[in-house]
Amino acid sequence: MSVNELSGANKYLTVDDVAALMKVSIKTVYSWCSKGYLPCIKFGRLVRINREELSLRIEELKEASSTRKK
């Protein structure tokens, strides 16, 4: 078993990664985390976002957006 598999390093994204994926600012991602819009894990000053939870959140937003358009 590799260190990455043991630690689950590929399972979590940094704030920078999420900001780049969502095409928003880093400050926005921190704001979403602090307001609870985006589930995150904090290790002291480090913040990590679970890749699966981010995908689920995006799907929820897509569904909410599509129901409002009808």
Per-domain boundaries in the chain: 10-69
| pLDDT at 66 (0 to 100) | 83
Distance CA 46, CA 12 (A): 12
| pLDDT at 67 (0 to 100) | 80
> Which residue ranges in the chain fall short of pLDDT 70?
1-9, 69-70
Distance CA 32, CA 30 (A): 5
**Candidates 1.10.1660, 2.30.29, 1.10.3470, 1.10.3710; correct CATH number of 10-69?**
1.10.1660
**What is the residue-wise DSSP string for 7-69?**
HTGGGEEEHHHHHHHHT--HHHHHHHHHHTSS--EEETTEEEEEHHHHHHHHHHHHHHHHHHH
| pLDDT at 3 (0 to 100) | 45
